[in-house]
Chain A
Amino acid sequence: MTYALLLLNLFWEFLKIGVFAVGGGMATLPFLYDLGEKTGWYTSAQVLDMLAVSESTPGPIGINMATYVGYTVGGFPGAVLATLGTILPGVILVLILAKFLARHHDNRYINAAFYGLRPASTALIAAAGVGVLGESLFNVSLWRETGNIADLFVWGPIILALVLAVLTNIKPTKNIHPVIYIAGSAVVGIVFKLGGA
């Protein structure tokens, strides 16, 4: 595929994400998983790294993810096009519908659609979460190879995740900003060589 075609394709894919990812930043995650699997542009482990960076920097997660994926796939032009693709449908719709929505945003049918969209969006993110869990805390391929159940668990990251799960849900540590947890986890990863590198 030529570079121009790749960029065009990238823009088109993110335009679709801009239309269908309803419900805020995290909602783009399942779409990005799907896109990576479909195109082979990046791996699902890379999606996690991108998400970590997106959570630790200013700006909406949805835009940060789009920029990061765009850059990974097509350099700086890719970053610009993926970001534009993500925001363009919303920008155009706001400009066209601003007057209409001011009168009708409590519309019965819009509310009814969201009655279906919110649980669906949660389900999509949860499904992506299961995928993420499988890849970062478990080693399914090694387990299949050796048949030894102990090889399934990657203990270092599992213990870290359990500690974080507790800290992010009890007072007073639950109010600490995620960026601190991400930075702390990076330090733990380096000190205990969690990547095995």
Chain B
Amino acid sequence: MKDYLQLFWAFIKVGALTFGGGYAMLPILQRDIVEKHGWVNDEEVMDYYAMAQCLPGIIMVNTSVFIGRHRKGTAGGIVAGLASALPSLVIITVIAMFLTAFAEYPIVQNAFAGIRACVVVLIVNAVVKLWKSAMVDWKSIVIIFLPVFALSAFTEASPILLVVAAAIAGIVITVLADSHKKGGEAA
């Protein structure tokens, strides 16, 4: 029982101290989980983080489940995953309660008009950053990025459909490129 409580508390801290998720969790994992508790080593953390990105859902939660499972099996994984999500749940609920109650106040409305302008810039910056890591060649731009962008911006196409189609397209493009390469070598 003590082990589970320790696991729970350690991942509450991970959830509460990580700003923005993803990469931001790594320094906290390294300090608390690797150095203080010694539950996993640096290399395992990076492996789990890489694998967590390949699965659907929230990268931070997935990574926490991997480490919790490594430490205490399935139950440990569930405890760590839920603990990492709990701080968000509490903090955001309190803020949402507060903001819902005061949404009609002019000062809140003016503040959010300014904030929205800022959020627009943050989204654009995020897209630019993602663009650099996602667009590995012209095929990924022409075959995937442009059609998905156009369909999403100008039609009612469901994002789920677009994501599934893109994954299939990725596999088809890779397999075709591989067989083309092999065909070229044979000839």
Contact = CB atoms under 8 A, between A and B. Distances in A.
The answer to whether A and B belong to the same complex is: yes
Interface of A: 16, 18-26, 29-31, 34, 45, 48-49, 51-55, 57-64, 67-68, 71-72, 76, 79-80, 83, 86-91, 93-95, 97-98, 101-102, 105, 108-133, 135-137, 156-158, 160-161, 164-165, 168-169, 177-179, 181-182, 184-190, 192-197
Interface stretch (B1-9, B35-43, B91-99, B179-187): B91-99
B89 A87 contact: no
B17 A136 contact: no
B45 interface: no
Given A120-B162, A122-B130, A105 B51 contact: yes
Contacts of B58: 25, 60, 62-63, 86-87, 90
Contacts of A117: 163, 166-167, 170
B171 A122 contact: no
A20 B153 contact: no
Contacts of B133: 118
B86 to A, nearest CB: 9
Interface string B93-121: 10111011000001101111111111111
B145 A112 contact: no
B61 interface: yes
A127 B59 contact: no
Of B61, B93, B117, B164, most A-chain CB atoms within 10 Å:
B117
Contacts, number: 372
B59 A164 contact: no
Interface of B: 15-22, 47, 50-62, 65-66, 69, 74, 77-78, 81-82, 85, 87-89, 91-93, 95-97, 99-100, 106-107, 109-127, 130-131, 133-136, 140-141, 144-146, 148-149, 152-153, 158-160, 162-171, 173-175
Contact of B56 (A22, A124, A136, A186): A22
B96 A71 contact: yes
Contact of A182 (B119, B134, B164): B119
Of B81, B110, B125, most A-chain CB atoms within 10 Å:
B110
A29 B123 contact: yes
B69 A26 contact: no
A118 to B, nearest CB: 4
B35 to A, nearest CB: 21
B93 A57 contact: no
Contacts of B82: 87
A18 B58 CA distance: 8
